A and B are shown apart, each in its own frame.
Chain A
Amino acid sequence: MADLVSHPDEVKVVSKRFGKGATNLDRYLELDGYKAVQKALAMGPDAIINEVKNSGLRGRGGAGFSTGMKWSFVPKQSPKPKYVLCNGDESEPGTCKDRLIFEHDPHAVIEGVVIAGLSVGSHVGYIYVRGEYRYLSEIMQKAIRDAYARGFLGKNIFGSGYDFDVYWHGGAGAYEVGEESALMESLEGKRGIPRIRPPFPAVVGLWGGPTIINNAETLANVPHIIMGGAEWYAGLGPPKNGGTRLFCLSGHLSRPGVYELPMGYNLKKMIYEVAGGIPNGRKLKAVVPGGASTPVLTADEVDVGMDFDSLAKAGSMLGSGGVVVLDDATCMVKFALRTIKFYQHESCGWCIPCREGTDWLKKTLARFHAGAGLKKDIDNIYYLAENMLGRTFCPLGDAAAMPTMAFVKKFRKEFEDHLEGKPCPYEPLGRTMELPVLAH
């Protein structure tokens, strides 16, 4: 459905089978499908975990935690069943990559889930797909049925004596449900209210059993690591940032799209070479580098490697891989308002700093946007956001606070331009005149 793009700098690992008909099981097998599971069956749990640890694979869902490490936290012995849960809720604004994996390579996700299961001695995996992605849950369900029919899933997979079941599960619209503990609540048929941690899901997860939760892209990488080896995978990116990443380039770009590039790829190059630069003769103003929750970078800060550690050093985050590019006719106050409006809408309302904080921020920013900001409120916005940080049950509060603080800190002048009575000075430049950016 969604258009595929390509660029010579791409290194295709997870996207290797995109556009090649791999939803068809026979085709998938021709393209080396289901070899990794068989290899993993022969390797055994410890060797799988070591391989994934050494590959430097870090979670593609946002936090960038070492995947092998996460798997090693699951207790070997457990009186309750252990589970694998693939997170395909994909709702962080700017992110549209898991969708392509489900659409083009659903069996790779299944394989990743099974290998994760083998590594911890689990026998059941769930693949959670957000409700809006109905056409993808059809694709996923068919892939699962086909795999069962060949004996790749179910009892005695590949004649190994090991049983493994994989089920699909659908959401019904909620960003917060992408948060790992809310995801489990949702799968158990409840409202997506997070759980207090510890205990972490690796110890007490679904129905009280130890549970591995990983993003769909993380899991789709696993079969490639098993086949290509940890050393090869680690070598694709800088130290401790193994592999490649699906970068979702969006916003004011000539060639937006999802590109698979090595970890650490330079952001400036990504914008100007891979995605064709800024259209309509405009200049770059800012970039949100890893989904809406990551602190904005100014045009002067884009000469940076796109990996977890380099972006952390630059004061932001690699997050979910959603790179949103803003040109110089964008009003940052308006952009900040739209960002906070999202978090206010999605807050589950459980804790006060997040529920009240996002609402208050939204109201204050709306006042600025209407040209009625008060000078003292510029500091108040920052102060309010700062006080939400680390004071909430789940990281959604931080996800709302961090970008807000960066907008105020880095674009203070634009807030000052919206004070008492002055209409938005950026709106008249307005893009309504030059829209749509795309000609076709």
Chain B
Amino acid sequence: MRFSEQFEQRFTEMLGHYPTKRSVLVPTLLYAQDEAGFLSDEIIHEIAGRLDLTDLEVRNVISYYSMLTTKPRGKYNVQVCTNIACMLRGGEELLEHCSKKLGIGHKGTTADGLFSLEEVECIGACSWAPAVQVNYDFHENLTTVKMDKILDGYKSKV
């Protein structure tokens, strides 16, 4: 298993920030996932080894956090917030729209592996609802028309 140089640099640096090794676990898993797309058995084993944990201990932590996944996702993970502030401004309709357009449901992935869809809880964009995050990018004050443009934009990036 090889991570990027930036990953290794961050990892080493973070180890110096805490009195226990284990403390770097959550941010490290997210960085690893960003590089590999998902947390494979191999990655879990590697990180567990580095932090003197068992694979099971790492799996236990992964299953708690909603952003961490052990299954591959699409290149662009479209996360639509339907929590209260977004719901009031069309979050649910937006989710349905994305679902129709992409032809996939909650936690589904398109056949070409380009998009995944996820219904998520509040992402801290309530005053700019409805809001969507595609990977880490925020898209706010959305309409279905704007959403189409955004999805087309990601599509043409490839």
Contact = CB atoms under 8 A, between A and B. Distances in A.
Interface string A145-165: 000000000000000000001
Contacts of B126: 93-96, 248, 250, 322, 324
Nearest to B82: A338
A175 interface: yes
Contacts of A51: none
Given A171-B65, A188-B22, A338 B87 contact: yes
A60 interface: no
Interface string A339-380: 100100110100000000000000000000000000000000
Interface residues of B, number: 47
Contact of B84 (A192, A257, A324): A324
Interface residues of A, number: 64
B89 A251 contact: yes
A330 B125 CA distance: 20
Contacts of A90: 124
Interface string A163-198: 001010111111100000000001111111000000
Interface string A239-250: 000000000111
Contact of B127 (A96, A130, A169, A435): A96
Interface in A410-440: 431-432, 435-438, 440
A330 B89 CA distance: 11
B27 A170 contact: yes
A397 interface: no
Contacts of A2: 125, 127-128, 138, 140
B67 A173 contact: yes
Residue among A135, A171, A330 with most chain B CB within 10 A: A171
Nearest to B33: A172
Given A189-B25, A435-B93, A436-B89, A132 B124 contact: yes
A207 interface: yes
Interface in A77-98: 81, 90-96, 98
A265 interface: no
A252 interface: yes
B67 A172 contact: yes
A320 B69 CA distance: 30
A292 B123 contact: no
Contacts of B98: none
Contacts of A134: 136
B84 A335 contact: yes
Contacts of A3: 128, 140-141
A131 interface: yes
Interface in A277-328: 288, 292, 322, 324, 326
Given A2-B128, A173-B65, A189-B61, A338 B26 contact: no
Nearest to B58: A189
Residue among A98, A173, A256 with most chain B CB within 10 A: A173
Interface string A1-43: 1110000000000000000000000000000000000000000
A324 B67 contact: no
Given A132-B133, A132-B136, A189-B61, A342 B124 contact: no
A194 B17 CA distance: 23
A256 B128 contact: yes
Residue among A99, A165, A339, A438 with most chain B CB within 10 A: A438
B70 interface: no
Nearest to B26: A172
Contacts of B127: 2, 96, 248-250, 256-258
B44 interface: no
B67 A251 contact: no
A133 interface: yes
A346 to B, nearest CB: 7
B128 A173 contact: no
A192 B140 contact: no
A207 B82 CA distance: 37
Contacts of B140: 2-3
Contact of B88 (A173, A190, A251): A251
B84 to A, nearest CB: 5
Contacts of B23: 169, 187-189
B73 to A, nearest CB: 13
A330 B25 CA distance: 43
Contacts of A330: 88
6 contacts: A3-B128, A91-B124, A96-B126, A189-B26, A250-B129, A432-B90
Given A257-B127, A346-B121, A437-B90, 7 more contacts: A93-B121, A131-B65, A189-B25, A248-B126, A250-B129, A338-B84, A438-B143
